[in-house]
Copies of this chain bind each other. A is one copy, B any other.
Amino acid sequence: MGNWRDNLRKIQPYVPGEQPDLPDMIKLNTNENPYPPSPKVRKVLDRYREDMLRLYPDPASEKLTQAIARYNGVEREQVFVGVGSDDVLAIAFMTFFNSKQPILFPDITYSFYDVWAELFQIPYRQIPLDEDFRMVKEDYFGENGGLVIANPNAPTGVYQGIDALEEILRHNQDVVVIIDEAYVDFSQEGSAKDLVERYDNVLIVQTYSKSRSLAGMRIGHAIGSRDLIAAMNDVRFSFNSYPMTRLSTEVGVAAMEDEEYFRETCGKVVSAREWTKKELARLGFAFQDSMTNFVFATHETVPAQVIYEGLRAKHIFVRHFSTPRIENYLRISIGTDREMRRFVEETERIIEDYCGM
């Protein structure tokens, strides 16, 4: 046996989440959209000249970059495109967080922030959310190496008002502030993207995996000042010339331009979410007012683990984290109306069984 093992990168092996694949399952565990992507995506696949696949993609995904710029009313040079928002975020971390000061983000938030910080050797500090899972904005006013704020936050679903974000931003002009808006299209107040007009250090990150029903195509983008975007492109192209597949670019444009379908499906998810909230309250669950395509809820009597396993036995999959502070919560992605009715029925039965024991 050679000694090459001595020089392996020391890494905490990641245990991938459950990806069940049962014909009758109801999959409410990874915040995917229950509706298919825009019918225009089908047209792209039908019409795409497959002989073009022999050529490398356009490095900058120009066509998609321009569609995003138009849609958001910004310049083409203010848009960065990546392989899902994970790729966009990882490159932003690499590009902007090279200070000795720790970057700050909440203790309960997207689980990859601390992973990337470790990977890129970025010092970081996790700031506790309050009892209602809200940020205490003053905690972010001191010296730091940058901020990462998921808004709405995951897995809590809590939306932080844009005024509060701007106040945090005003206290943080010397570092880059990332606002991760993976779920923003399901919120009422919407994106903080207008802040990029007034702050050259704020980066808005969005994804096509949730509201655009394209998790399978790995598309994300960032919007910010020209200087922020140019810096990210320098880093990106220093190690990868052709990140996006040709089909991702085409499919992304089609999805982005079908505004009517987008509004319709987001509307359906939001109304199923509101119905689900009422039912959860009726069943004795507590939760913050989710502005996402999931509800993060805890039951007054029945442990989360019991409900999780009871549902699992019925092939209904929700997410349960064994992390401190949230080990008694379930994150329930919003599916179709029919799926949510089944979920509520089975949950009610589990609660009755448990309480009748």
Enumerate chain A interface residues (CB-CB to B < 8 A).
1-9, 11-14, 16-17, 19, 27, 30, 32-37, 41-42, 45-46, 48, 50-59, 83-84, 86-87, 90, 94-99, 112, 115-116, 119, 145-146, 173-176, 200-201, 209, 213-218, 227, 231, 234-235, 237-248, 251
Contacts and interface: CB of A to CB of B under 8 A. Distances in A.
Contacts of A216: 52-57, 245-247
B90 A7 contact: no
Contacts of A34: 54
Contacts of A33: 54
Contacts of A51: 36-37
The A contact surface, by secondary structure, is loop
A84 to B, nearest CB: 7
18 contacts: A4-B174, A4-B176, A7-B96, A7-B145, A27-B55, A32-B55, A37-B51, A42-B50, A45-B48, A53-B217, A54-B213, A57-B218, A84-B242, A90-B240, A115-B238, A116-B239, A216-B246, A245-B248
A269 to B, nearest CB: 12
A303 B52 CA distance: 33
B87 A240 contact: yes
Give 3 nearest A-B pairs by CB, closest first.
A36-B51, A216-B246, A53-B216
Copies per complex of this chain: 2
Nearest to A237: B14
A3 B119 contact: no
A116 B235 CA distance: 11
B97 A7 contact: yes
A100 to B, nearest CB: 9
A222 to B, nearest CB: 15
A214 B248 contact: no
A11 B96 contact: no
Contacts of A248: 245
